[in-house]
Chain A
């Protein structure tokens, strides 16, 4: 990937622009996936493909970890603002932050490819959400759903991992120039 020197201001502006673009993309993906009737295949409340995780995963591999967080957190805030409210915010932040932390850690382990990282991230997302639900409901009963969510996380994590791998393979041909302080 060609890395151009943009100067201090140019670099900052471009960082903001790239983050903003990826936040918008993640929001669009999480809105779109509502129309995919995954519940018809797996009749479980609250399950989804986690397409927005593709953005987080690509950001994690392409940019620095802090940029991935800078994309994730506004995405959760705006997502809650557009639909869901404060409960949804707590859920997506708990799931999202735990997932990204686990993925950033797993990525450093040579045994895992992007598939393993994605699957662990998807699983961590569910664990985070169930923990948030336990706190919110002041009850551990909801933990009974976790095994089913985890099984589906293996499938959805594999899917988002393979899509992210495809994107990352294509990126070098896209002639995207990233500011030096943003790229790996």
Chain B
């Protein structure tokens, strides 16, 4: 253990700055262009769209694949309210209602995307 650097040094600030820069770049790339009221949500299983739900009508249903996700729509928002997947991070994502937001359940391969009324979600890429 000759040239082992175990103390925080100036160069480490560059490592922090690099990570911060990457975070800001990715953040900017994913800002949804439309923050207006969302009209519906698309639900995907393993990348394929399986269901489209309107956020205007309150409903609750269970989506079964590898696991069961209970999806609830209320007050123009959508959420996974119960799941038997390991971790239940999808439930932890909470309620989403603005376009461009999404909830994912990785174990189930499920994704909910909120879409604006006029069609596709656009991104500001930069």
Task: Indicate whether A45 sits within 8 Å of B11 (C-beta atoms), given known contacts A137-B111, A184-B1.
Answer: no
A interface residue numbers (CB < 8 A to B):
1, 39, 43, 45-46, 61-62, 83-85, 87, 91, 106, 109-117, 119-120, 123, 127, 133, 136-139, 141-144, 146-148, 150-151, 153-154, 165, 168-169, 171-172, 184
Q: How many chain B residues touch A (Cβ–Cβ < 8 Å)?
A: 41
Measured in the bound complex, the distance between the Cα atoms of B27 and A91 in whole Å is: 22
Q: Which of B5, B18, B20, B30 sits near A143, CB closer than 8 Å?
A: B30
Measured in the bound complex, the distance between the Cα atoms of B16 and A1 in whole Å is: 32
Q: Which of B1, B8, B18 sits near A1, CB closer than 8 Å?
A: B1
Measured in the bound complex, the distance between the Cα atoms of B110 and A138 in whole Å is: 11
A113 touches B19 (CB 8 A): no
Q: Write out the residue numbers on chain B whose beta carbons fall within 8 Å of the beta carbon of A141.
A: 102, 104, 111, 113
Task: Indicate whether A116 sits within 8 Å of B15 (C-beta atoms), given known contacts A45-B93, A138-B47, A139-B44.
Answer: yes
Q: Write out the residue numbers on chain B whose beta carbons fall within 8 Å of the beta carbon of A84.
A: 86
Most chain A CB inside 10 Å of its own CB: which residue of B14, B46, B102, B106: B106
Q: How far is the CB of A103 from chain B (nearest CB, A)?
A: 11
A120 touches B19 (CB 8 A): yes
Measured in the bound complex, the distance between the Cα atoms of B93 and A109 in whole Å is: 38
Other A-B contacts than A109-B11, A110-B5, A144-B100, 9 sampled, CB-CB below 8 A, are A112-B12, A115-B8, A119-B12, A120-B15, A123-B19, A139-B102, A144-B102, A150-B22, A154-B19
Q: How far is the CB of B20 from chain A (nearest CB, A)?
A: 7
Q: How far is the CB of A116 from chain B (nearest CB, A)?
A: 4
Q: Write out the residue numbers on chain B whose beta carbons fall within 8 Å of the beta carbon of A154.
A: 16, 19-20
Measured in the bound complex, the distance between the Cα atoms of B113 and A4 in whole Å is: 60
Q: Which of B14, B18, B87, B104 sits near A142, CB closer than 8 Å?
A: B104
Measured in the bound complex, the distance between the Cα atoms of B113 and A33 in whole Å is: 31
B12 touches A113 (CB 8 A): yes
User: Whose C-beta in chain A lies nearest to the C-beta of B10?
Assistant: A111
Q: Write out the residue numbers on chain A whose beta carbons fall within 8 Å of the beta carbon of B44.
A: 137, 139
Task: Indicate whether A168 sits within 8 Å of B107 (C-beta atoms), given known contacts A112-B12, A116-B15, A141-B102.
Answer: no
A and B contact pairs by CB, cutoff 8 A, 27 listed: A39-B92, A45-B93, A61-B1, A61-B4, A87-B107, A106-B15, A112-B9, A112-B14, A113-B7, A113-B11, A115-B8, A116-B11, A119-B12, A119-B15, A120-B15, A137-B47, A138-B46, A139-B44, A139-B102, A142-B104, A147-B23, A150-B19, A150-B20, A165-B7, A168-B1, A172-B1, A184-B1
